[in-house]
Amino acid sequence: MTAKIDIINVSKQFGALTVLDNLSLSIPAHEFVVFLGPSGCGKSTLLRMIAGLESVDSGEIRINGERIDHQPPGKRGVAMVFQSYALYPHMSVRDNMAFGLENIATDKSVIDGRITEAARMLEIGHLLDRKPGQLSGGQRQRVAIGRAVVKEPKAFLFDEPLSNLDAALRTRTRIELAQLHQRLKSTMIFVTHDQIEAMTLADRIVVMNNRKIEQIGAPMEIYDRPNTRFVAGFVGAPAMNFLDAAIARGAANVTATVADGISVETSIAADQLADGKYTLGIRSEDVRIVGAGQGHADAVVDVIERLGERTLVYVRLGDGQQIVGHDAGNSRVAVGDRVGLSFDGSKSHLFDESGRAWHARGL
């Protein structure tokens, strides 16, 4: 059983504060969708409205065409996994997983069968007789996921479920969630402020900011063709470099002149842009570290971040602006070195004063 979820012109206020403003979104059955955005953007509130834990002030929420925003949570056919695990400490893992099914008078043989299958899938069979206090954080989160799985819901709702895990467990649990989705083929909605989680898990990402949706798309679509400066700066680690630019239209494309008179020829067609102020956006991997005097400009190295297969080099331009460039994993640059920067203008973006992005056609 799975769900197509439609959110239609939904708004939500808490007193005088508007949290969501006339938001619409359609989530096809079987899709893994991630709501991504900064704290306070409304992503968890939207998830809780789908679950029935928050009311809808205006608009509709439908699952498989049936309006559900006036139904109690238990009637909606969804299961939620919380950041805090929310396990009963006095119950065994088995009893925690069975509790919701027992409350709706599910036959014991059905409960036992579902628990056995969920435990096998999540590799927690050896934990079924333990109490939550005897489990690690990663084990408790898998139990919380198992409690949702046994309900066989139409959709799974995850509210920042990895936030309490350490870095290694987060990575492992991300992989487990992706595998779970592949096995169950269920509709899943996952809320996070972590863009790495979004990029690695999602079929589509819904980027939210300031009560609205900024962009919806596949992970690499969001990364390569951000609709707005906010999306460009929020998705990607490190964030995209931004430099104020003066534009000049050539016969075909636009050339952007930025700090220190650096001229970057973009692949953005000259006929795309109106007059106005623009900002050049370029990702760190498209700013290559080369020898001094060999690139578009020279800069001084401020900070070096070694990540194994690549090195991020934070440099300061002559006018004092700092940007991030990319070098090989075995880079020999040192703090204080003078290096050259080579910009790949074909991968650059321009943002107008409203924050709208302009890209090369077909990029």
Q: What confidence score (pLDDT) does residue 363 get?
A: 46
User: Which contiguous run of DSSP H or E holds residue 14?
Assistant: strand 5-14
* Both structure tokens of 233: 């700066």
Confidence at residue 361, expressed as pLDDT on a 0 to 100 scale: 65
Per-residue pLDDT of the chain (363 residues; tens, 9 = 90+): 689 999 999 999 999 999 999 999 999 999 999 999 998 899 999 999 999 999 999 999 999 999 999 999 988 999 998 877 788 899 999 999 999 888 888 899 999 999 998 888 888 899 999 999 999 888 888 898 888 888 889 999 999 888 877 788 788 888 888 888 888 889 999 999 998 899 999 999 999 998 899 999 999 999 999 999 999 999 988 999 999 988 888 778 888 888 878 888 888 888 888 778 899 999 999 999 999 888 888 999 999 999 999 999 999 998 888 999 999 999 999 999 999 999 998 889 999 999 999 887 654
How high is the pLDDT of residue 300? 95
**How many C-beta atoms lie closer than 10 Å to residue 135's C-beta?**
18
Whether 227 and 322 map to the same domain: the answer is: no
* Contact predicate 327/289, CB 8 Å: yes
* Domain annotation covers residue 88: yes
In a domain? residue 181:
yes
283 with 225, same domain? no
Using the 8-state DSSP alphabet, how is residue 151 labeled? T
Q: What does residue 96 show for φ and ψ, rounded to 5 degrees?
A: -60, -45
The reply to whether 188 and 259 lie within a common domain is: no
Please check whether residue 92 lies inside any domain of the structure: yes
Domain boundary among 193, 214, 233: 233
* Residue where a domain terminates, one of 205, 233, 261: 233
Query: How many domains does the chain fold into?
Result: 2
Of 70, 54, 58, the closest CA to residue 8 belongs to 58
pLDDT at 249: 82
Number of other residues whose CB lies within 10 A of the CB of residue 50: 25
Do residues 336 and 268 make contact, with C-beta atoms less than 8 angstroms apart? no
Q: Tell me: do 187 and 89 sit in the same domain.
A: yes
Residue 363 within any structural domain of the chain: no
Q: Are 334 and 193 found together in one domain?
A: no
* Domain limit, last residue, from 206, 233, 260: 233
Q: Which domain holds residue 132?
A: 5-233
Task: Say how many residues make up the chain.
Answer: 363
171: domain CATH number is: 3.40.50.300
Same domain, 158 and 60: yes
213 and 261 assigned to the same domain: no
| The pLDDT value given to residue 262 | 85
Smallest CA-to-CA distance from 36 within 166, 160, 184, 171 is with 160
